[in-house]
Amino acid sequence: ERAEQEIAKLFPTARLCRLDRDSATQAEEVTALLASFARGEKDILIGTQMVAKGHDFPGVTLVGVLLADTALNLPDFRAAERTFQLLTQVAGRAGRGREPGRVIVQSFNPEAPAVALVVGHDFRSFAARELNLRRSFGYPPFSR
């Protein structure tokens, strides 16, 4: 809601829609909202992770990710992998049509490997680093 309010201030004539668990509680609402955005009836779609996966919006040329690194603070050895995966998915929403896309990532720790390496499109380095860490700590896939 806060992001929606701030974006409305910055773009007062833009037609906004928000997709999260509060704004769309039924599957039909989600479908209708996404269809409205895809038809160009909305200019800006503000959403949570619900927007990141499984949707194709060819006209989207700009994607912003707020607080991109918050999941890195979770006590889960998969946090970096999940952050890298989510940022890769979100970035894939931009530039699918004729126009190139841009992604803006807000992060408190832009040097964190999960953020820095996804921004640099460096999957190999991220995977090698993550596998080395997991091997040294005995985490999967090196243990059960």
Task: Calculate the average pLDDT of the chain.
Answer: 90
Task: Name the burial class of residue 68, with classes exposed (0-12), middle (13-18) and buried (19+) by CB atoms within 10 angstroms of its CB.
Answer: buried
pLDDT over 90, % of the chain: 54
d(CA 76, CA 25): 28
pLDDT at 114: 97
Q: Average pLDDT in the 120-140 region?
A: 97
pLDDT at residue 24 above 90? no
d(CA 113, CA 84): 9
* Global confidence as pTM: 0.83
pLDDT at 1: 82
d(CA 2, CA 139): 38
- Contact 115/68 with Cβ under 8 angstroms? yes
pLDDT at 98: 83
Q: Average pLDDT in the 93-116 region?
A: 89
pLDDT at 22: 85
Residue 5 has which token pair?
């309010």
Start-end of H helices in 47-108: 79-91
